[in-house]
Amino acid sequence: MDGNKQEINSCPPSPEKLKSTKCKRYKQDTISVKSPDSQSDSQKTEELSKDYTDLIKSEKISTAPTLGKGRSYVPQSAVALRCRVMPPPCIRNPYMKDASETDADPFGSWRTKYSGYLSAPSGADSMSRYRTDFQEIEQIGNGNFSRVFKVLKRIDGCMYAVKHSIKQLNQDTERRKALMEVQALAALGFHENVVAYHTSWLENEKLYIQMELCDYSLSFHNSSGSLSEEEVLKALYQIARALKFIHEQGIAHLDLKLDNIYVKNGVFKLGDFGCATLLDKSLPIEEGDARYMPQEILNENYDHLDKVDIFSLGVSIYELLRGKLLPDTGHQLLKDGKLPFLPRNSLQLQNLLKAMVDPDPAHRPSAKEVIQNPIFSRTVQAEKSM
């Protein structure tokens, strides 16, 4: 019956320290040796100290450059540790309001200069921060460029979501896009309706992002049209509040859809800032899913990037109410500002959505105007009473 006592999915021990073929190095203050002779404790300590000193000297000699061979010995543990702890270069965050206007290309050729520091050695001797710090539970999401895993952090025992790139970031455009997402998240800071960002790191030329773990997303496969209008209004209100927050910091999301709206403990949160850019158009613009994009951005008109997010939110909420996925190219009637009637939902809500998908971006409400709509009076009261 002892086999039944073992816990299922118990947290495995951290990877063992790397071993070398040399003698073990013992700590002077933690060695306890029993001897059958009559030596005193002080004599034992002196001998152990001398042995330890001799061992250090011998190691120094063995690692010194050897004449005639043209190379020096570096322990694999030292190489792995250096790759683990050496930081990537400091680069300017263009999303910060006080960012310097100099260094238009802050990324440069850092991969060539710092490749020895950013890449972990491959094979069994690699010291992976991801494997050392986290226990992988299950995969909870994937895309064309990245996967998301539910993980348990060993040191604090809490669950997180870790997103990492599928391929190594060898191309400059790939590195640029990946780092932009991290910088946008870091610049935004905390907001209750934005998926929280914790930290990120580069490992084996792949980017890892540790984020808040949510319960599920509002994608069609999870919602299935089962939300009531009151719950849909709550989602619309809270995501509009998230848009107000990021727009006030000069950032546009540009990939708002049900897949990127998450729920945690009944709170709706906006996530996935892989397409985020600046409203002033000072950064490259890469629009997200074409099904949720208004016509002006498909025509490369980037004068109202904040209103692009408003359009995408309106289309997403309409899709949620409709209970059916949009066509691959989007619903052309929606792009033309024509909202098909939804008989089960109130006219007040449908009128708000119609304003949000107006073909003229100047006529769409701002995020602040959306949350000030009288339709949310009950939603606001419910939040205040909590």
- CA 315/CA 361 separation, integer angstroms: 14
Residue 259 in contact with residue 286, Cβ under 8 Å?
Answer: no
Token pair 């990127």 is found at 260
The catalytic position among 133, 255, 259, 306 is 255
d(CA 336, CA 357): 8
The pairing of beta strand 197-203 with beta strand 216-217: unpaired
Q: What are phi and psi of 353, to 5 degrees?
A: -65, -40
Distance CA 58, CA 379 (A): 73
CA–chain centroid gap for 62, Å, is: 43
Query: Which residue positions form the known binding site?
Result: 163
User: Minimal CA–CA distance to 131: which of 8, 13, 9?
Assistant: 13
Annotated binding site for ATP: 163
Distance from C-alpha of 130 to C-alpha of 127, rounded to nearest angstrom: 9
Do the strands 134-142 and 251-252 form a parallel or antiparallel pair, or are they unpaired? unpaired
CB 197 within 8 A of CB 185: yes
Q: Residue 30 half-sphere exposure, CB side, CA atoms within 13 Å?
A: 3
- Distances 354 to 241, 306, 312, 337, 350 between C-alpha atoms, Å: 19, 17, 12, 7, 6
Q: Which two tokens stand for residue 298?
A: 């498909």
Active-site residue, 358 included: no
Query: Three-state DSSP class for 129?
Result: helix
C-alpha 84: how far from chain center: 19
Tell me if 122 sits within 8 A of 102, measured CB to CB.
no
With beta carbons less than 8 A apart as the criterion, state whether 285 and 302 touch.
Answer: yes
CA distance 386 to 382: 7
Q: Which residues are catalytic?
A: 255
